Homo-oligomer: A and B are copies of this chain.
Amino acid sequence: MVSLKDIAQRCGVSTATVSKALNGQPDIGEETRSRILRIADELGYMANASARALKTKRSYNIGVLFVDPMHGGLAHEFFSTVLDSIRSEAERHGYDLTFINRGLGQRETSYLQHCRYRGVDGVVIASADFTDPMVTELVQSDLPVATIDHVFNDRIAVLSDNLMGMDALVRFVAAKGHRKIALIHGESTSVTVGRLTGFHRACEELGIQIPDKWIRQGVFHDPKSCGAITRELLADPERPTCIFFPDDYSCIGGLNAIHDAGLRVPEDISAVGYDGIPLSRIVSPVLPGSSSRSSIRAPRSSTA
């Protein structure tokens, strides 16, 4: 590998000069600089990230915590999209992304230790069990941490605007004529709270009365539980005309339940999933609400 020393030799200057020239320091003569740049290019020089990180304490590397309780990990559609956004944004700023695991081979390490080992400049907690002590340890450390769709005390958080998203969704289906709307929401998280708030607010403002029995707690990404709840809702004599699901994935469980009940979508009943992952735009009928939640487009962020 070609190093600063090689360039220095070829140019007849010291490595310090080369380093400064390459980093745009002001105390280098113009012609010396251009000569160094040319030679560096000729030799195909690439800095050594390790050496640089060792000296400067900055790795230009961001750790990503991405554990999915369900098996399938990265296949989680919504977060995969988010991760891709993070990646391209990081790239624009000269950062790379490294996955943070627990454990390095044999050694079991905490997430925080792993971060220190790799010397990441910060961590994005994209998807994780926020009650895990190791996660809270990480959050409470001095490392810059950003969380997705979860708020920790005074740390940066990128949030989907669930309140506005749900608000828009309600107005959308209301505009289609729906008045009998059922809401299956996920577990009690800040995401759910936002959506519930948006739901109630929009219904109230639109003058729509929703009986409590139509607001049910399901499980995120669980077609089975959401399907079961759907069956119960369909058994109701004054059946809702539209059912909201916590996400597009669980929505599929609902669609199956509807199908099994001999009902057709959208003629007999409408089903709406939240998220708007690419897939959902293809499923017939197209799930509305796709535009209401789009990765990091319009985050509400609070700064540490």
Number of copies: 2
**Which of A77-85, A128-136, A197-205 binds B?**
A77-85
A245-280 interface code vs B (CB 8 A; 1 in, 0 out)? 000010011011001100000000000000001110
User: What residues of B have a CB within 8 angstroms of the CB of A92 in the complex?
Assistant: 105
A111-151 interface code vs B (CB 8 A; 1 in, 0 out)? 00100111100000000000000000000000000000000
* Residues A46 and B117 in contact, CB atoms below 8 Å apart: yes
A93, B105: Cα distance in complex, Å: 5
A261-304 interface code vs B (CB 8 A; 1 in, 0 out)? 00000000000000001110011100000000000000000000
| Chain A interface, number of residues (Cβ within 8 angstroms) | 60
Task: Choose one: B44, B107, B113, B278; the contact of A75 (CB below 8 Å).
Answer: B278
User: What residues of B have a CB within 8 angstroms of the CB of A206 in the complex?
Assistant: none
* Closest chain B CB from A224 CB (angstroms): 9
Task: Choose one: B87, B118, B249; the contact of A279 (CB below 8 Å).
Answer: B249
Give the contacts of A35-83 with B (CB-CB under 8 A). Answer: 44, 46-51, 53-54, 59-61, 72-77, 80-81, 83
